[in-house]
């Protein structure tokens, strides 16, 4: 009897968890469509965009993140070059190190790492800011006074990240390639001009385009999840903390999922060509 009751409790808990997951997924999808409408409206009516707020968030999310993104990009290039030299050296194909470092950084690592950093840095900040405003009833006051919270609070954050993340990705690309150059030129008999020429030959415009498109999608995900978790947080300190944590976890999960889907799509398109 006890085992049967435990099994029933397990089934109930599993069902409740699945229901909460589906409800959360539906809420996120609805919020995504709402944000798409906001971005479309801002493109059609640019005068409605609060450029001062966009510039503020762009400085906070973009300029302030340049040092950490540069350092991470450099270290990733160093680590990837060391591993490539070690593994490819076993088969005597060390000449492909530059190709591996350049394509992997531009296509995958730079957009992914940049997005993960901004998810922990900016996504959580968005969630905490909006959650605190909800706790202090500032959002309710804005709605009562007739202000559009989406246009005043959410849209500037989304537009700022849509511009900041591709720019930071380019910085991570450059720093990653420089990090690989430091290792390759130091370990192998390759000069700096030879490394630069090889990297320019390997990295094609389509590779850079794919990386920037991924970063654009990742920026939208980070901003959307951060704002969604903020406006749906609980009205207490614990609720704000949970919303910030959930924003980071959910953003990283969706970033990795989107990266896998986009990589598969781009691979399929390349095979068709």
- pLDDT score of 21: 76
Core vs surface per residue 43-66: b (16+ CB within 10 A) or e: eeeeeebeeebbeebbebbbeebe
Tokens linked to 166 = 């591709």
How far is 171 from 122, CA to CA, in rounded Å?
Answer: 18
- CA dihedral sign, ordered 183, 186, 189, 195: positive
- pLDDT score of 159: 87
- pLDDT score of 207: 84
Q: Which residues of the chain, if any, have pLDDT below 70? A: 1-5, 7, 9-10, 273
- pLDDT score of 114: 93
Alpha-carbon separation of residue 216 from 26, 61, 73, 114, 210 (angstroms): 22, 14, 18, 11, 10
How far is 159 from 163, CA to CA, in rounded Å?
Answer: 6
Those residues whose C-beta lies under 8 Å from the C-beta of residue 72, and which sit 6 or more positions away, are 113, 117, 172, 175
- pLDDT score of 14: 75
Taking only Cα atoms into account, the Rg of the chain, rounded to an integer number of angstroms, comes to 22
How far is 132 from 231, CA to CA, in rounded Å?
Answer: 9
- pLDDT score of 27: 78
């Amino acid at each position: 009897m006890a085992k049967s009751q435990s099994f029933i409790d397990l089934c109930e808990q599993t069902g409740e968890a699945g229901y909460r997951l589906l409800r959360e997924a539906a809420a996120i999808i609805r919020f995504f469509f709402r944000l798409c409408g906001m971005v479309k409206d801002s493109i059609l009516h640019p005068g409605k965009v609060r450029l001062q707020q966009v510039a503020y968030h762009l400085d906070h999310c973009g300029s302030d993140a340049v040092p950490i993104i540069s350092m991470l990009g450099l270290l990733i290039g160093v680590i990837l070059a060391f591993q490539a030299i070690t593994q490819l050296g076993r088969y005597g194909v060390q000449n492909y190190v530059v190709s591996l470092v350049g394509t992997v950084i531009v296509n995958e690592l730079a957009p992914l790492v940049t997005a993960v950093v901004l998810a922990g840095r900016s996504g959580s900040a968005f969630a905490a800011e909006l959650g605190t405003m909800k706790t202090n009833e500032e959002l309710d006051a804005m709605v009562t006074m007739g202000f559009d919270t989406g246009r005043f609070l959410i849209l500037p954050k989304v537009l700022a990240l849509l511009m900041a993340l591709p720019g930071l990705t380019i910085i991570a690309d450059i720093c990653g390639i420089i990090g690989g150059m430091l290792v390759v030129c130091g370990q192998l008999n390759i000069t700096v001009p030879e490394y630069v020429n090889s990297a320019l030959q390997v990295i094609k415009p389509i590779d850079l385009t794919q990386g920037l498109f991924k970063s654009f999608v990742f920026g939208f995900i980070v901003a959307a999840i951060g704002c969604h978790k903020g406006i749906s947080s609980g009205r207490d300190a614990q609720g704000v903390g949970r919303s910030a944590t959930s924003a980071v976890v959910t953003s990283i999960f969706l970033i990795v999922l989107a990266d896998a889907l986009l990589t598969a799509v781009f691979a399929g398109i390349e095979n068709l060509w």
